[in-house]
Amino acid sequence: MSIHVALVGAYILGLALPAAAQTTTTTTTTTYYVVQDVKTKKCTIIDQKPAATEYTVVGDEGTVYKTRVEAENVMKTVKVCTTE
């Protein structure tokens, strides 16, 4: 009977390990921010939250975009960004 318990435990562990490995790889996603250079007033997209005071985040302070395309589309509609 103890062999059956060990086999069932190994089977459950075999099913749980791939699920645990998959969740750890999906949590590392890249985020994008639309920022404006304070001096030039030009907007760019960066993949890290700006820590320096030379950039300000365009929009709400917590605005984060999941894809670069989404950030590009928002940047086209923001009026504070200059287009030259």
Burial of 75 (0-12, 13-18, 19+ CB in 10 A): buried
- In angstroms, the CA 48 to CA 39 distance is 20
Query: Which two three-digit tokens encode residue 62?
Result: 């917590």
CB-based contact 49:33 (threshold 8 Å): yes
- Per-residue pLDDT at 41: 87
- Per-residue pLDDT at 25: 47
* Average pLDDT score over residue span 54-59: 84
* Average pLDDT score over residue span 52-65: 80
User: In terms of pLDDT, which residue wins out, 34 or 6?
Assistant: 34
Query: Which two three-digit tokens encode residue 30?
Result: 């890249």
- Per-residue pLDDT at 79: 82
CB-based contact 48:57 (threshold 8 Å): no
User: In terms of pLDDT, which residue wins out, 54 or 82?
Assistant: 54
Radius of gyration of the chain (CA): 23
Least confident piece of the model among 13-22, 55-64, 69-78:
13-22
Q: How confident is the model at residue 24 (pLDDT cuts 50, 70, 90)?
A: very low
